[in-house]
Amino acid sequence: MIKVTAGADAPERCSQAFTVAAVAVASGVDVSLWLTGESAWFALPGRAAEFELPHAAPLPDLIESVMAAGRITLCTQCAARREITEKDVIEGVRIAGAQVFVQESLADDTQALVY
């Protein structure tokens, strides 16, 4: 489980989270990537394409990699604060809250990373 709290406001931390998630998926790990705080904007179509960080993999490619074999969840409260609804997000992104986060993070053999 990887929780990313940073967006364009902290680009290196944001990129690290998505990169680690994509590498974990490529390594065969079951990945659950949670978008919280400013990273919530990347649940919207086209927003990842606006993100730039020199010497980093393109964010849309990393998201595609994670979605191919993992799952991406947008925090319910983070979505509500930004007026993002289920009809607004990229297909395949779910919106869920703290109960689901706690359930996933406390599951057996789960390692949680926060960026």
Instruction: Count CB-CB contacts under 10 A for residue 17.
Output: 24
**What pLDDT score was predicted for residue 106?**
95
* Pairwise CA distance, residues 41 & 81, whole Å: 11
- Segment 55-72 shows an average pLDDT of 97
Phi/psi of residue 7, each to 5°?
A: -130, -135
**What pLDDT score was predicted for residue 101?**
96
- Tell me what the pLDDT averaged over the chain comes to: 97
Q: How many domains does the chain have?
A: 1
Can you give the residue range of the structural domain that contains 103?
Answer: 2-114
- Segment 63-83 shows an average pLDDT of 97
Return the CATH number at 46: 3.40.1260.10
Rounded to two decimals, the pTM is 0.95
* Pairwise CA distance, residues 30 & 27, whole Å: 9
**What pLDDT score was predicted for residue 13?**
97
Work out the pLDDT band at 98, boundaries 50, 70, 90: very high
